[in-house]
Structures are given as structure tokens and as C-alpha cells.
Amino acid sequence: MAQEELDLDTPPQALTRPEAEDQARVLRRTLQRHNYLYYVEAQPEISDGEYDTLFRRLQALEGTYPELVTPDSPTQRVGAEPRDDLPTIPHTAPMLSLDSTKEEEDLVRFDERVRKAVGDPVRYLVEPKLDGASVELVYEEGVLVRAVTRGNGQEGEGVTENVRTISSVPLRLRDEVRSAPQFLAIRGEVLMYLSAFRALNERLVEEGSDPFANPRNASAGALRQLDPRITAQRPLDLLAFDILSVVGVEFNEDREVVEALRDWGLKVPERVALLDDVDAILDYHHAIFSDRDDLDYEIDGIVIKLNDLAAREGMGTTSRHPRWALAFKFEPRKEVTRIQRIAVSVGRTGVVTPVALLLPAEVGGVTVSRASLHNRQEVERKDVREGDLVRIQRAGDVIPQVLERVAEEGKPRGPAFQMPVECPACGTCLVQRGPFTVCVNQLGCPAQLKGRIIHFGSRSALDIEGLGEETAALFVQEGLVKELADLFDLQAADIMDLPGFAEKSAQNLVQGIQSRKKVELRRFLYGLGIPEVGEAVARDLASHFGDLEAIRNAERGTLETVAGIGPKMSEVIHGFFHEEQNARAIDAVLGKGLELSPPPSSGGDGTALAGKKVVFTGGMEGLSRLEAKKLVEAAGGKAVSSVSSSTDFVVAGEDAGSKLAKARELGVNILTEAEFLELLKGLQQEDEGGEGAVG
């Protein structure tokens, strides 16, 4: 029914319930059709404004008559309330992984095995191998009732409310071309298109947040959010490629499955082909690989599947892989990749840094998607521009950097990069200080304030659990925190309705902040974010002076009596404490009742690994796990069981497995058992030396 045939003028309250029910039913079908045309077919028939008018009308009807809300209503995409955890749900059928190879010889052997098992002729359905997050969608009577991550293949996490927010996922299957089955379980891939991924990363960089390593990580992270409202803000898409189980419909070929999925309103992969032999598959593989950089989504190879479904049943599966399918993968991009955009990041000190957003590439076993270009002079010296092919490396095997531009003969280049005139976060005119570009609006710039909050609550500072990037950004965005002191005024009621929070998590964060009102002096000093003052200098200052006021009132010459502090550093520290706005901000924080405890006056303070998280994996030669854990805890650290971006060290013993691989992927510092003991010994010696200066 067209928009003009609907009575949109009569207030919902003036409609009888049957009239409202009829109109809601028509609106749901109309909006579902336009969603399909826009998100799947990319052929919209109405403007965004016209769509919004219909959507708001349906919202008004459902608001007046709440009993009219159905699970498949387009209004249910906006995101439900946060959950405490994600339930574990078994799959309808096993979601097996694919056997994979990069070698042509393995492809030939696969083809020979298939032909030996089923005989000639053989046809394969071949499609790009999507690099996203696998998910099972279950429809009953055509309505989406369940969505589950792949998990271990037998069961996964229930993410139904999150998947509902993905606009390309039909909440009700289309039945115009073919009837929806009584029961349908499909397998699809949740992904983020590269154009959307670049825009998301660019925004994160400009806000001073860490961008995602690759679209797969961004998709998987969004899919597993406890708050569906956060998922709804991420530009996710879903492509369906297999049926796990179906009741009421039979298929003979995989080609028919793809057509049915498309008819039911689901997006399917592009460039699906039916091929007859290895030579045709190799040609397809080469063509897709050649076009890889021009596609708007990440792929890491192609998938080859026997087209005959009955023959598949005959071949069966192993415990992990179907025998009738193979992933023929690409070599990962290594060392050479392309700059897609150059964004600018505003740090907590106000320095505006150009950042190259790259096509994700593997360097030293880690996926790299961004690299700092340091400052405007460095960009000019290397003459790198958006669209350039560049050679990258991980400096010190940790920090990604652009080494040089790789010339491409005959390829036109984009314009030379220019730093912005105004701060992208607050609009203040930027100033040049040597090679650096700086926003001088220290207290009024939201990017700088967000960075200061994150630093203030970091593990080596006040160690406030839950005060990460997204939370800090929300506090600044909502105006709840305008300076550091405001953190201590937060109440659970202020934040429980924010994305990512519920009553319990809001209470936990507020309690966590209040519990840090008694803090070690060295941690407080580090948390202030004083230029040139890292953990070691903060510890040395606290040990030497023993009191914050003594440090604030110290002259430059007095500061230089501290080991390691020279004229330049003393000038910066002295200037920080005597800058009026900084002094006022410190007084405001102290005015919230903070108690700064002085450093201990004797050895053995147990702070060598203070605030550090250590993971042990594999077999240790000279230590049991319990002994290793006690060593870490005695040094002020924490032995944890899983590897994440917040892990400081992974100690890898013999036969280390997945934890070591994940540490490499995340760029976490990896130590042998001997290196760990040597590090611990060195840090303890540093602590003992610093304590000798007290008094």
C-alpha cells in the first residue's frame, strides 16, 4: 500500500483498536518492503523523509496500543535494554569450520577426493570467503526468533537483540516470491563494509579513541555487546550463505539454496559461481584476488562447495570439517598496503597527530590497520597521501609505522595532505609548535578531557575498573564530567540509562570511583598526566618528596635534585603545577576528599609490577603456576587467566598455545620464563634504589 493510501492524519487515539491494528499491519509490511529495497537491493523507492514519516506513525500506533507490538516490527530494531550476560544456546545443527589451504596442490587433491567419492561430472558452487563473524539465525513461521554466535560450533552466545538492530536482517522473511518455511535455520556472516569501517575508525581517531584493528574485530565486538543500543550504532551488515536446517522445503542443489535465501529477503554473497574443474576455480581465485583491494568488504580467500546436496550427505564430515568443502585462502597482505584515509587524532595533551588508516595488513603475525604519521613535517618528508601504496613495519616489533611510499608508475596520486586549521574535536584554531600541531583548549576540548579521564582511571593511576574509552566518551558527550573532579560526584542514577549500563553496572562503577579516594601519591601524580612524567618519574617524585604540596611548591632547582630529572623536565613539571587552570583542577579533585598516601619508607614494598596484568601459558621449567602467581602478586601485579588488550605481559613456556597466538595478534609483550624472572629482578632493584632516596 502506498503512503498516500494510509490515513496518517487521524491521531492514533481517535482510531478504534481494530482500525489501529489494520493500519499497523499495513505499515509493518510497507516498512519491511522498503527496508529490503534499501538495504538488500540498494534500490530505494521513497526518500528518507517519507520512510521516517511511516516509521514514526507505526511508533505512535504501538505507543497508543502496546499490545500491537510484534517481534517482527521494524520499531524493534532500535535496541533493547542492556543485559548482565549473554546466554549460551545450542545450535540447531553443528556450525563446522572449513578445511583450508593456500596451496594449489591441496586444491587438486581435494578435487580428486570429491570425484573419487561421487564420480563425474562434478559441479562446485564457489563464492568469496567473507572475513566476518559467523552467526546462526533461526526463523519460525517466517519470524526471526533467535540469533546465536558460532562459539565452539556446537553452541554459542545468544545475540538475538543485537542482530535485530542490523537493518539488512529481515525480522520477517519475505514471502512474495516463495512461501516462508515453517522452520528455517541459516548461517550467515556479520561484517562491516570497509567504507563504513573507515568512517568509524576515522571518527574514533578524531575523538582520541583507539580504532579497531580490522572490520572482523569491529563486527565481532559489536555483535557481542551486552547493550544492543551500542550494537545499533555500529554499521553492521549480514550476508547469508547456508541453510543449517529447514522444515517444509527440500533442495537438490546449493544453487537453489542461494536463490531461496535471496527470495526470502536475505543478502547473499556477490560473485557466486558454478564451476566444473580446478582450472576454472584457479581462474576465479586469481580474478577475486586481483579485485580484492577494490571490494568494499574484507575477504581472505574463496570457498569451494560441492553443489549436489545429496552427494554432500554421502561424503559426510569429519569431527571438525565437511569433506565436501574447502577454503582456498589468499596470502595475507604483508608489509605493503594502501593508505585509505589520513585522519587526525587529538591526544590528551592537545597534540594533534596525523594517522594513516590502512587496508588491514599482517605484519609480524599482527593485523595492522593504522599507523601514526607523527606530525606534519614527517608527512611532508615522506610525501605520503591518501590512496598511496606504502611499506609498513612495527617499530620495535610493537608500534606500527609507515616507512616509505611505494611508487606506482602511471597511477595518479591524491592531493598532498594538509593539517586542519581547527581542532576536529572542539573547533579551536590550532597552533604550530615546532613540528607539532596543538589544540590549546586544554580544559574545553572534549577529546583532551576524555583522554585525561581515561589516563586518570588507568591501571597505573587510580585503577578505576570500568572507566574505559567508551565510558569516558559518554561522560563527556552527556556533560556529566566537565573536569576530573566531577567523576567523584557521579551517582548511579546519572549513568544507569546510558548505553552499556544498567542499574548494577552503574552502581559498580560509582562504587569503584569512590573506593579510589584513598590513593598512593605516585599513582595520583601519574594520573594527573603531567607532560614528561611517566610511572618511573612519578614514583621517584613521590619517593623523594613524600608529599604532594612539597612537589607543587618545589622550585626547578629542587626538582633537579631528583635522580633522572634534568633542566627541561623540571621546567615542564614546574610549569604544570604553576599553571592556574591546572592548579585549580588539582584543588578541585582534592576537594572531593581524596587522601594521598605517602610511599613506604622501607624496602619490600611489593610494587615492582604494580597494576600490571600477567598471563602464563605453556609449561614452566623452574616454576609451578602457583609459584609464578605468588611472585606476580608479591610484586604488586595480578596473574590473570585470559589474554586481552589490557594484558601487560604474557609469559610463554613450552608448548604455549592459543594464548600465545592471541598475545601476538594483540601486540602484547611476550616473555620467556627466564626473561620474566630477569624483568622481575630488575624492577625490584629499581624499587630498592628509589626507596633509598627517601628522607
Catalytic residues: 129
Looking up cell 573532579 gives 485
DSSP 8-state symbol, 38: I
C-alpha cell at 391: 611499506
Do the strands 669-671 and 638-640 form a parallel or antiparallel pair, or are they unpaired?
unpaired
The strand ranges marked E within 347-422 are 351-363, 366-372, 389-395, 399-406
Round to whole Å and give the CA distance between 600 and 521: 11
Closest CA to 282 of 98, 96, 97, 110: 110
* Omega before 121 within 30 of 0, i.e. cis: yes
Contact assessment for residue 468 and residue 230, using Cβ atoms and an 8 Å cutoff: no
Closest CA to 261 of 173, 376, 182: 173
3-state secondary structure of 361: strand
Contact assessment for residue 336 and residue 359, using Cβ atoms and an 8 Å cutoff: no
Residues in the chain: 695
3-state secondary structure of 481: coil
- Tell me the torsion sign for CA atoms 154, 160, 163, 167: positive
Cα 282 to Cα 67, 102, 105, 115, 255: the distances in Å are: 56, 12, 11, 17, 20
DSSP string across 263-282 = HTT----SS-EEE-SHHHHH
Closest CA to 427 of 413, 410, 416, 440: 440
Round to whole Å and give the CA distance between 472 and 565: 32
Contact assessment for residue 219 and residue 190, using Cβ atoms and an 8 Å cutoff: yes
Contact assessment for residue 147 and residue 138, using Cβ atoms and an 8 Å cutoff: yes
Looking up cell 518492503 gives 33
Count how many Cα atoms sit within 13 Å of the Cα of residue 149 in the half-sphere of its side chain: 21
Read off φ and ψ for residue 567, nearest 5 degrees.
-60, -45
Alpha-helix residue ranges (DSSP H) falling in 371-519: 376-382, 446-456, 469-477, 492-495, 503-514
Contact assessment for residue 55 and residue 75, using Cβ atoms and an 8 Å cutoff: yes
Degrees to nearest 5, angle at CA 398 with 395 and 402: 40
Read off φ and ψ for residue 190, nearest 5 degrees.
-85, 130
Quick count: other Cβ atoms within 10 Å of Cβ 510?
Answer: 21
Please list, in sequence order, all residues whose beta carbon lies within 8 angstroms of the beta carbon of residue 331, skipping any fewer than 6 positions away. 102
Structural element, H or E, at residue 518: strand 518-520
